Structure 1
Amino acid sequence: MFKFYKIMFFNSLMMGTLISISAYSWFNMWIGLEINLLSIIPLMKSHNNSYPAEAALKYFITQALASAIILFSVLMMLNFSEFVPNNLNYFYMLMLNSALMTKLGAAPFHAWFPEVMEGLNWLNGLLILTWQKLAPMILIMYNLNMKLFLTSIIIISSIISGIMGFNQISLRKLMAYSSINHIAWMLASMLNYKTIWFNYFMIYSIISINIIILFYYLNIFYLNQLLITINSNKLVKLLFIMNFMSLGGLPPFLGFMPKWLVVNNLINGNYYMMSTILIIFTLVTLYFYMRITFSSLMISLNENIIKLKKINYFFMIFINMLILLSLLMCTIIFNMY
């Protein structure tokens, strides 16, 4: 049963993000971020186990610290901009951007992110992976005057997500490190054209929803559960494999399009080194996605003869097929005109 307080806090969560991204002043932006933070904490609560309470506490402490740094840096910039030399103002802007990166979960400010994801259920994890990225990213987009800082964050995020994703057996941590890799791509997409960022964010959110719907319906959190459960339905196995390939950015699938746009944009802006590093470490993440899919295809597991609870797969299969084939459909439709 969906409780009333969850509907109320979910609405205020959405409202907090919208206040932040439409604010005229830094103070209103900070208020929106606080409303957003205080709304997601009750949504993390679970009666079944105590892990979400621990994850909520970790999330609250990290986000509250980042909010305090944002407020401090904004106040210092507003009060001392007339009296203090420019290089100190640059230092406060660096503090502000670092705090926004902490809220976002970009490396090297990412340590809280996999730990919080590990304690949450799939629906709350989906919120952290998608909606909670929106406000910090748009606020970073508002002050993109620190190109060196942004470039270093992009490179560190792609490298750390590629390396740390290895040897993960928890699917939630795997999704967290995957998200850090996509954060690097999204930050790179902001450098020239903001429209590419919007396209990337929308497509990443759609693919994440797709994958997490599969995990949520099948009620799996670890790799060994996945390999056992996925054998019960061949079509679900195929959809799962195709979704992970789409998340990695393989060409026939929808996930390839935003990465192609970002690489094209970076090369046009002469960011050759950055685009090379992003491509190499995305291949690393694609390697561990493929390792999961190959395991599910090649490891010999007997199918269950015990009758599992009946799951209505129609909605899940319909949405998956629609999204996976959307790049192909768009290409065919637009080529006709």
Structure 2
Amino acid sequence: MLTLISTLISISANSWLISWIGLEINLLSIMPLMKLNNNKFSSETMIKYFIIQSLASMLLLFTILISMNSLPLHLMNSQTSNMMSIPLLMKMGAAPFHFWFPEVMSNLKWNMFFLILTWQKISPLILLSYLNYKIEFLMIFIILSAYTGSMLGFNSFCLRKLLSYSSINHIGWMLISLLNYKIWLCYFLVYSIMNLFIIIYLMKFNIYFINQSNFLPNNNMNLLLSLNLLSLGGLPPFIGFLPKWVTINLLINNNMFYLSMLMIMSTLINLFFYIRLIIPMTLLNSTIFLSTNKPYNFTKKSLYLTIFMNIMFLISLMIYSSIFTTIM
């Protein structure tokens, strides 16, 4: 509860000092949650996360003190906003401040992984939207995040690192969508829901590496996971394409055609390592089952999970189709 409340304090504060206090409460409340994972990496992960977040908070507080923290949020000039955006980008793991992010995420359990992947990005992103920064300054971090997340995913065989690099790529898209708050909210909600489905599946079968996908127990759920991964990559006609499509439309309307082309190319690179993960699950796994002829016995919990994920996937397709029809 303290983790949730501290985020609300940060985004609803009327001064930067109170926002900083909310970020510090959030940091202190999430560290014991990391320690709940009783393994040899939990302490190391917690210390890494604490050091990076403390460094970012120190830079943020230093900038606040320089710019007189009594000023309201909307009176910040562009130079101060540019300085203040750097620690916020560091907190969310955007490139080139991303080096801590995959290392910390690779040692977390799936529930904490999802929390840091989604909820912990809300405060830095919304606080970043309050700043009066120049888009030319932020464009450097947008392009770096998009291509860093795409290129580094090639060498990753750990699924938690792969999803972390995918998150860095999506951070670039979210930074663009901050030009319009409604588009950012749509993008963040769709991204969180897609990650929720994927992480529930991976957590259910304790899957942490790509080579484990060859031995998954059920081909129907493998197909469902593959479709969700393609949706996360932004492939039409899945729901993950909708926020990217609206963001591209926003860029073109703001005369940023070349930036939209660069972002589309980074998404194509991102789709490659999703397909590399999908092929063993859909093709190789089916040949294993034909040779063994051992049916998978569903428990009630697995059956309910399958039905729920199928229904949500169909709903997402219907939502996409209705929005597409309305806009066109």
Cα distance in 2, alignment partners of residues 14 and 51 from structure 1: 25
Equivalent residue in structure 2 for 1:36, among 19, 26, 35: 26
Output the CA distance in 1 between the equivalents of 2:296 and 2:255.
Answer: 58
Match of 2:314 in 1: 325
Instruction: Please name the residue that 1:294 is paired with.
Output: 279
- Aligned counterparts of 2:125 and 2:148: Cα–Cα separation in 1: 19
Contact 1:104–1:136, Cα closer than 8 Å, also in 2: yes
Residues 38-77 of structure 1 mapped to structure 2, 5 A cutoff: 38-46=28-36, 48-77=38-67
Quote how far apart the aligned CAs of 1:333 are. Answer: 5.4
Going from structure 1 to structure 2, the CA distance change for 1:21 and 1:315 (only over 3 Å counts) comes to: farther
SS of the residue 2:66 aligns to = helix
1:292 aligned partner, one-letter code: L
- The one of 172, 185, 188 equivalent to 1:201 is 188
CA displacement, residues 262-306 of structure 1 (integer Å, 9 cap, x when unaligned): 001101111111111110011001111011101222336634759
Post-superposition CA distance 1:28-67 (Å, at most 9, x none): 0001101111111000114531112211111110001100
Q: Is the 8 A contact 1:157 1:184 kept in 2?
A: yes
- Alignment match, 1:314: 303
Aligned counterpart for 1:247 among listed residues 207, 221, 232: 232
Change in Cα spacing, 1:135 to 1:47, as seen in structure 2 (3 Å) is closer
Shift of 1:312: 1.8
Query: What is aligned with 2:219?
Result: 234
Gaps of 5+ in 1: 1-10, 82-88
1:218 aligned onto 2:218:
no
Task: Give the match for residue 135 of structure 2.
Answer: 147
**What secondary structure is seen at the aligned counterpart in 2 of 1:44?**
helix
- Pair 18,65 (structure 1): closer, same or farther in 2 beyond 3 Å: same
What is the alpha-carbon root mean square deviation over aligned residues? Answer: 2.2
Distance (Å, rounded) in 2 between the aligned partners of 1:311 and 1:219:
18
CA distance in 2, matches of 1:331, 1:98: 35
- Given candidates 98, 101, 111, the residue that maps to 2:89 is 101
Give distance in 2, aligned partners of 1:320 and 1:149: 40
**Pairing partner for 1:179 from 162, 167, 171:** 167
Contact 1:73 1:95 in 2 (8 A): yes
Using the alignment, how far apart are the partners of 2:102 and 2:303 within structure 1? 32
SS across alignment from 1:289: helix
**What fraction of aligned residue pairs are identical, expressed as a percent?**
44
Cα distance in structure 2, aligned partners of 1:197 and 1:24:
21
Contact 2:88 2:124 in 1 (8 A): yes
Any gaps of 5 or more consecutive residues in structure 2? 72-76
Q: 1:187 to 1:319 in 2, by over 3 A?
A: farther
- Greater shift after overlay, 92-101 or 282-291? 92-101
Q: Secondary structure at the match of 1:49?
A: coil
Give the alignment's TM-score, normalised by structure 1: 0.88
Q: Is the 8 A contact 1:189 1:262 kept in 2?
A: yes
Check if 1:15 corresponds to 2:5: yes
Matched, 1:120 2:108: yes
Q: Distance in 2 between matches of 1:91 and 1:153?
A: 16
Aligned match of 2:148: 160
Q: Distance in 1 between matches of 2:89 and 2:158?
A: 24
8 Å CA contact 2:219, 2:282 repeated in 1: no
TM-score by length of 2: 0.90
Counterpart of 2:252, as a letter, is: I
Contact kept in structure 1, 2:15 and 2:69, CA below 8 Å: no
What is the 5 A alignment of 1:127-142? 127-142=115-130
Whole-Å separation in 2 of the counterparts to 1:188 and 1:25? 25
Residue type at the aligned position of 1:204:
Y
**Superposition map of 1:279-290 within 5 A:** 279-290=264-275
For residue 30 of structure 1, what is the amino acid of its counterpart?
W
